[in-house]
Chain A
Amino acid sequence: MPSAASSPSRKWASRLFLSDYFVLYLSLAYVAILAPFLPTLLNPANISNVLSNLWPLLVVATGQTFILATAGIDLSQGAVIAVTSVIGAMLIAVTGNAAVLSNAPIWGVFIGEQGGILAGSIGGIAVAIAIMMLVAILIGLLNGVSVAVFGMPAFMVTLVTMIVIGAVAIYLSLSENISNLPDAFVTLGKGDLVSVYFGAQDESKIPRKIIYSFVTYPMVIAVAVAVAAHYLLNRTVFGRQVVAVGSNKRNAEVSGIPVRRVIVAVFVISAVCAAIGSILYSARLEAGRPTLGAGTFLLDVIGATVIGGTSLFGGKAKIIWTFFGVLFFVLLSNTLNLMNLSAFQVDMVKGAVILAAALLDVLRTRLTRELT
């Protein structure tokens, strides 16, 4: 059989191209090429910033990876982030601002002048987080059951959930942010475990703004979620079932895979990951924001996942790919910002990159075909 990989250099190139680490190499090459032109790129402050953008997106994209592995799509993740952000914040805010919120339907029910009904204790925060997860699980179940049991297309179902849940999020606080979140909660989004200070210690107290956080709570949470997800998807019976459903649904059904249960489960996983992302985003903002996850956020999530190499056609997904995809995507956004491009220009470039990623997926598939 004639093979495309006849010459050694082409063989080497295609091995690189098909490697699990291809997108990581791509990211490193991207940084190496741009670093001389963008000196700020490798500044500790910027690296710290890149990392702080990386972790929440990684958690959300991890959830989306499970959905894409079954050849589905979840457009409602952004709305889940928004609604759980508002719900969490309204329960735990230390004080409520009557001037902003007094017309909102939640005012006087869940939140008042003296704060949210669960404000004031660590236990209250834990309960609020449990409620956020519960809301996410319910939305995930609604999506999953509609797709798996009633056989509606995932695109349609989650589009509707996105619109409706997104609207609920805005309605709850009448589009206002709910601020004054307790410190213990904010720590989850910003707190550092290891920070670095560059420079001489002239004063006994180093000003906060020149300490750069590297190991943070979001990092610990995101890495824990990603590692657990990696094992779940690649090593467990459930993970095999997810991939089997995405590879060939009819075959999975004939082979006795509980197809419906698997589909419901991935939608729940996706929503829960979105809610964990919501905690990280809300804590970082120190507010519950009903417009979190709106706009082109979905593009970031699905784009990063697909750039990593997870196929939109299902059956081909790895969490490590998603990690590298998110890394590349965050670097891309960051560098475009450093180039002083406007938000619109940034979106145009991002769109083009996702298109390139889709093309890459096709090329990779073709290469694998030639090599086997």
Chain B
Amino acid sequence: MGDLLAFEGLSKSWFGVPAVSDLTLAMRENSLLGVIGQNGAGKSTLMNMIGGIVEPTSGRMRWKGADYEPKSAADASEAGIAFIHQELNLFTNLTVAENLYIDGFPRKFGMIDWATINERTRHILGRLALDVEPSVNVGHLSPGERQLVEIARALHNEAELVIFDEPTTSLTPRETERLFETIATLRGEGRSIVYISHILSDVKKLSDDVAVLRDGKLVDQGPASDFSIARMIRSMIGRDLGGQFPERSNTPTTSAILSARSLSQPGVLQDVSIAVNRGEILGLFGLMGAGRSELARVIFGLDPHETGEIEIDGKPLAGGPRERIAAGLAFVTEDRRAEGLMLEAPIAENLALVSIDRFGKKPFMLVDRERVAEETEAMKDNLSIKAGNIARQPAKALSGGNQQKVVIGKWQMQSPKLFILDEPTRGVDVGAKYEIYTLIDRIAATGGGILMISSELEELLGMADRIVVMNRGEVVGEVGRDEFDRETILSMAFREVIA
């Protein structure tokens, strides 16, 4: 059997930083290749190159023995490669059939031939044992059903290679089982699959071969039968687990900075009580939709809550973000591009935004530009933000990690008492992650409190002094650092989902 897809010396760098370097790998026809690696290991860049979204800096790809140089997503789809993304790419306002045929509706006498479309759609859905009408709006389907619609679209496009990127993140266990059955069906039809996941046991169970990426390089590969979970972890991390995170340099106190009591908001939060102490990093863990970010937004005054109170340093918090910032709160949101930065504006302006009132000179509140320049420059050095002229360079020209430092820096300018960090290392490369962890540790060591929300349990295990677990808007458990245990925490997070 020949190679279906092969990479030869494939590399891609962003602003001189390699995301994938010198990758050589081949996958056999009708096989299932499991790809694992930490966030930032280069998996998404590799997938984007296959998908024609990103062009390689050097090296080449071969598809069925011929050179493969996709220039767009359409090229990849034409070649017979389909992607099932983590965030599904469906039009939720359109029907199942419309989603399948969106890139070319069959026509009859110049009119869209709905009869044919519905019939074929029904046929494809039947093959996937998905019992929904072609005319149902995708918005009405569950996450698992939506994923099957994505797979249906791949089948409709006669894809020979289907690439799954973290397909089980938003699925219930039952839906996951069904997905695995579907994958078996696809393989039975002679299709090949690339399966990317953090859930190593799934990868081991499903794969024929496993490839491990770390820092953009292929560090380990072989038949899945040769891989133990332990070997996977060792290859992925490449060092001791502890090495990823800085030592916590202080022990938290027991005096609370933030205390929230019995917060409730129908459909979002239910009787949530939480306290963060001086010098403490409190980890907040939960699955997607568990109410973590929602809790953060309520505490920060961006969203309302019906009952319960929030206190900082014993004083009740009221009003919107402006009042709460004045009281000492800071909020690094999960979506830094949409909520954390003015991308087009210079870095210095971004850094000075939160504390701008402080720089106004009476009587006209003229901005003291010299002091702004001085203090933003000092903050840039303090956080080692890798930028040239911060008065001119726009924030969008920075890498993800440096952008995140700017967001943290704009709050630091205000010396807050409590930091809420929502997914602080999302989209940040491995090296910069360590720097951000060090920064977080430093804030706690100087007496600040930190509420750190993350979907990466490893990160919380590495950094937090205490972890609170949320599930469907409720706090379901709390674990101290001495009792940290993956299984315990995960089972809390999954509790009701499994039950």
Q: Closest B-chain residue to A240, C-beta based? A: B356
CB-based contact B367/A244 at 8 Å = no
Assess whether A236 is in contact with B365, with CB atoms less than 8 Å apart.
yes
Contacts A248-B342, A250-B339, A251-B340 given; does A236 touch B325 at CB 8 Å: no
The winner among A231, A241, A243, A251 for most chain B CB atoms within 10 A is A251
Are A235 and B345 in contact (CB-based, < 8 A)? no
The smallest beta-carbon distance between B464 and chain A, in angstroms, is 23
A314 to chain B, nearest CB (A): 10
- Would you call B354 an interface residue if the criterion is a C-beta within 8 Å of the partner chain's C-beta atoms? yes
B12 CB to closest chain A CB (Å) equals 13
Alpha-carbon separation in the docked complex, A257 to B349 (Å): 13
Which of the residues B302, B352, B357, B359 comes within 8 Å of A254, measured between beta carbons? B302
Tally of B interface residues using CB under 8 Å: 36
Give the CA-CA distance A315 to B344 in the complex, in Å: 8
Residues of A200-251 whose CB lies within 8 A of B? 231, 235-241, 243-244, 247-248, 250-251
Q: Which residue of A lies closest to B15 (CB)?
A: A1
Query: Given A237-B356, A244-B353, A251-B338, are A316 and B344 also a contact pair (CB < 8 Å)?
Result: yes
Are A254 and B367 CB-contacts (below 8 A) given A236-B360, A247-B344? no
- Are B367 and A240 neighbours in the complex by a CB distance under 8 Å? yes
Query: A256 within 8 Å of B by Cβ?
Result: yes
> Which residue of A247, A256, A316 is within 8 Å of B322 (Cβ)?
A256
CB distance from A40 to the nearest CB of B (A): 43
> Are the C-beta atoms of A248 and B365 separated by less than 8 Å?
no
Using A257-B353, A372-B393 as known contacts, say yes or no to A237 and B344 having CB atoms under 8 A apart. no
Verify if A105 is at the interface (C-beta below 8 Å from B): no
Contact (Cβ within 8 A) A236 B340:
no
Contact B356 A248 (CB under 8 A): no
Chain A residues with CB under 8 A of B356:
237, 240-241
**A248 contacts B349, C-beta separation under 8 Å:** no
Report the bound CA distance from A315 to B341 in whole Å: 12
CB of B331 within 8 Å of the partner chain: yes
The answer to whether B17 has its CB under 8 Å from any CB of chain A is: no
A231-B364, A240-B353 are contacts. A258–B344 as well, Cβ < 8 Å?
no
| A231 to B344 Cα, complex, angstroms | 22
> Is A183 interfacial (CB-CB < 8 Å)?
no
Q: Does B333 contact A (CB under 8 A)?
A: yes
B410 within 8 A of A: yes
Which residues, 326 to 371 on B, are CB-close (under 8 Å) to A?
A: 326, 331, 333, 338-345, 349, 352-354, 356-357, 359-360, 364-367, 369
Q: Is residue A255 contacting chain B, with contact meaning CB distance below 8 A?
A: yes
CA distance A198 to B356 in the complex (A): 53
**Among A237, A251, A257, contact of B341 (Cβ-Cβ < 8 Å):** A251
Measured in the bound complex, the distance between the Cα atoms of B356 and A302 in whole Å is 30
Measured between alpha carbons, how far is A253 from B369 in the docked complex, in Å? 23
Shortest Cβ distance from residue B54 to the other chain A in the assembled complex, whole angstroms: 15
Q: Tell me if B302 and A238 are in contact (CB < 8 A).
A: no
Known: A236-B360, A243-B345, A247-B345. A254 touches B366 (CB 8 A): no
A298 to chain B, nearest CB (A): 27
Beta-carbon nearest neighbor of A234 in chain B: B367
User: A231-B364, A254-B331, A315-B344 in contact; A248/B338 too (CB < 8 A)?
Assistant: yes
B-contact 0/1 string along A310-330, CB 8 Å cutoff: 000001100000000000000
Q: A256-B321, A372-B397 are in contact. Are A237 and B338 (CB under 8 A)?
A: no
B341 near A240 (CB under 8 angstroms)?
no
Contacts of A247 in B (CB 8 A): 342-345
* Closest residue on chain A to residue B342 by CB atoms: A247
Other-chain contact of B339, A235, A254, A315, A316 (Cβ < 8 Å): A254
Measured between alpha carbons, how far is A257 from B360 in the docked complex, in Å?
Answer: 14
Q: Across the interface, do B367 and A255 meet the contact criterion of CB distance under 8 Å?
A: no
Closest Cβ of chain A to B352, distance in Å, is 8
B359 to chain A, nearest CB (A): 7
Complex: A372 Cα to B394 Cα, angstroms = 8
**A106-165 contacts to B (CB < 8 Å):** none
A-facing residues in B360-415 (Cβ within 8 Å)? 360, 364-367, 369, 393-394, 396-397, 410
Query: Other CB < 8 Å A-B pairs besides A1-B15, A254-B302, A258-B322, 20 of them?
Result: A235-B369, A236-B367, A239-B367, A240-B356, A240-B367, A241-B356, A244-B342, A247-B344, A251-B338, A251-B339, A254-B331, A254-B333, A254-B340, A255-B325, A255-B410, A256-B322, A256-B324, A256-B325, A315-B344, A372-B393
Contact sample, A vs B, 5 pairs, CB 8 Å cutoff: A243-B349, A250-B338, A251-B338, A254-B340, A255-B321
Residue ranges of A at the interface with B (Cβ–Cβ < 8 Å): 1, 231, 235-241, 243-244, 247-248, 250-258, 315-316, 368, 372
Listed in ascending order, the chain B residues whose CB lies under 8 Å from chain A are: 15, 300, 302, 321-322, 324-326, 331, 333, 338-345, 349, 352-354, 356-357, 359-360, 364-367, 369, 393-394, 396-397, 410
Top-7 shortest CB links A-B? A247-B342, A256-B325, A237-B360, A256-B322, A237-B365, A250-B339, A255-B354
